[in-house]
């Protein structure tokens, strides 16, 4: 089984010198495209052009939001990468369960992947952490038919799980790698032939054929990138929210924080500053409420 050196990148890495990345020995770049149905990575187009012009093999991934319909996310993802070409399977990044149990989440993930295949005409794969695979998804809901790109660090090989056993088509073995041309820590991956759209093992990588995502290429996103904030001694969600012109509720929802009064020094929070917040980009649903005897605005708001 042929092994390829890969990285996966997002706005977190900032601008990248892809010629230096290639010269460092990297062969494949997986690029974050979207999250939920509300966020397109602002570096998507720049990364795609840079990686393409440097002769790197390319793949795209979507970060799954449990609070958004799977079909909507699939449409949003494929629309964002329309008109581009990919060498590798389109990937669902599944690492948040929200309020769903393992069976429900497995069904939603399968629904997303099936919809992406229909929308794009391309094959897909699933990325998740080894611990997440064992605790939050389960067999019997269709995920076993897709290749697995697994993340686990500090081991000689990823641990087995109930769906794929010890089989995997990609392994993210570090999230603190340093690569020439990138001025930030970077995820490091080993990618195998099963992650390619053209997965014939007898075809050299430079002869594997990329495939085009149907549609017209989109304009670059005007959304600003997220901020990754490391919690410091004395921080509270209130002080962090004030610093970035957002709300405690939005930070808690984005980071799946059950108790907003409990955060830890060194914890990394994803923050959407000001009106770029995750909640402000979601659809707003309204409802009609008939005031009852004893109601106050406070009790209704709660």
- pLDDT tens readout for residues 236-258: 999 998 888 889 988 888 777 88
d(CA 249, CA 251): 6
pLDDT exceeds 80 at position 94? yes
Mean pLDDT of the chain: 88
Q: What is the mean pLDDT of residues 271-280?
A: 57
**Residue 194 in contact with residue 243, Cβ under 8 Å?**
no
Measured CA to CA, the distance from residue 6 to residue 29 in angstroms comes to 6
pLDDT at 301 over 80: no
Residue 58 has pLDDT above 80, yes or no: yes
CA distances from 192 to 26, 148, 168 (A): 14, 11, 8
pLDDT value at 274 more than 80? no
Condensed to tens digits (0 to 9), the pLDDT of residues 63-88 reads 999 989 999 999 999 999 999 999 99
Q: Which of 247, 254, 147 is nearest to 199 (CA)?
A: 147
Q: Which helix (H) or strand (E) holds 277?
A: none
* 51 phi and psi angles, rounded to 5 deg: -65, -40
Percent of the chain predicted with pLDDT > 70 = 85
**117 pLDDT more than 60:** yes
Count of beta carbons in the 10 Å neighbourhood of residue 103: 12
The answer, yes or no, to whether residue 201 has pLDDT greater than 60, is: yes
- Based on the residue annotation, tell me whether 32 is a catalytic residue of this protein: no
Task: Tell me, yes or no, if 245 is annotated catalytic.
Answer: no
Beta pairing class for 3-9 and 28-35: parallel
Phi, psi dihedrals of residue 295, rounded to the nearest 5°: -70, 150
Active-site option among 17, 20, 72, 95:
95
Q: What is the pLDDT of residue 299?
A: 55
Which residue, chain included where needed, has tokens 């769903």? 100
- Sign of the CA dihedral with 208 first, then 3, 58, and 114 last: positive
pLDDT at 202 > cutoff 90: no
What pLDDT does 205 receive?
A: 63
């Amino acid at each position: 089984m042929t092994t390829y050196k890969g990285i996966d990148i997002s706005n977190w890495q900032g601008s990248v010198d892809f010629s230096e990345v290639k010269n460092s020995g990297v062969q494949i770049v997986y690029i974050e495209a979207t999250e939920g149905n509300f966020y397109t990575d602002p570096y998507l187009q720049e990364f795609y052009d840079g990686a393409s012009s440097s002769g790197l093999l390319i793949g795209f991934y979507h970060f799954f939001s449990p609070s958004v319909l799977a079909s909507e996310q699939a449409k949003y993802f494929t629309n964002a990468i329309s008109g581009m070409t990919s060498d590798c399977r389109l990937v669902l990044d599944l690492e948040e369960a929200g309020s769903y149990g393992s069976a429900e989440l497995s069904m939603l993930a399968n629904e997303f992947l099936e919809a992406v295949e229909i929308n794009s005409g391309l094959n897909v794969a699933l990325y998740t952490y080894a611990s997440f695979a064992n605790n939050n998804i389960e067999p019997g809901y269709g995920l076993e038919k897709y290749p697995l790109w697994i993340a686990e660090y500090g081991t000689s090989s990823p641990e087995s799980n109930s769906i794929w056993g010890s089989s995997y088509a990609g392994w993210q073995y570090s999230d603190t790698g340093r690569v020439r041309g990138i001025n930030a820590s970077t995820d490091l991956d080993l990618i195998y032939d099963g992650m390619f759209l053209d997965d014939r093992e007898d075809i050299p990588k430079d002869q594997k054929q990329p495939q085009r995502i149907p549609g017209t290429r989109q304009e670059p996103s005007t959304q600003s990138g997220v901020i990754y904030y490391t919690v410091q001694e004395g921080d509270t969600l209130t002080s962090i929210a004030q610093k970035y012109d957002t709300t405690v509720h939005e930070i808690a929802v984005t980071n799946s924080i059950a108790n907003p009064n409990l955060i830890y020094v060194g914890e990394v929070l994803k923050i959407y500053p000001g009106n770029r917040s995750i909640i402000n980009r979601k659809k707003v649903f309204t409802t009609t409420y008939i005031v009852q005897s004893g109601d106050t605005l406070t009790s209704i708001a709660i």
